[in-house]
Amino acid sequence: MEGSKNFNGWQKEAIRLLLVEDNFADAFYFKEIIGENPDVAVTISQAGSLAQARAILQNAPQFDLICLDLGLPDARGEEVLRGIEAVNPRIPIVIMSGSEDHRIEAWLREGRFSARIHKDKLTLELFLETLAQVLDRQVLA
């Protein structure tokens, strides 16, 4: 594939990511961090609510990863996760949360999402490590 990049065995033009985040500052920071790495091409679409995310997924479901905040204006917690799962349960989800809610860890053990990144600990290195783990699981599945 001409112009494609190889990231941990994942050969693509760009990794297609849906960022579901209503906080402008958090979304801006996330995009800035991802933009710091010239070796991994990431195309980011953003939704600021569960309704927007569901509409995007219904109209253009071709994403490799969803980064999902659990505190949105129109839904919170498990309702957000269920809302995304209902539209497309096959796309890996990385929870991006500042919450210490113990239910998040239980949902991870249940396999309801692929990984979790605490917003306060987000770095490029952590994101790339998480991305590699999630994509490796997709390749092996």
CATH fold of 13-140 reads Rossmann fold (3.40.50)
Token digits for 119? 């917003």
Q: Residue ranges of the domains in the chain?
A: 13-140
- Specify the pTM: 0.84
pLDDT in tens, 10-61: 555 688 999 999 999 999 999 998 888 777 788 899 999 999 999 999 997 6
DSSP line for 24-41: HHHHHHHHHHHHT-TTS-
What is the C-alpha separation between 23 and 133, in angstroms, rounded? 26
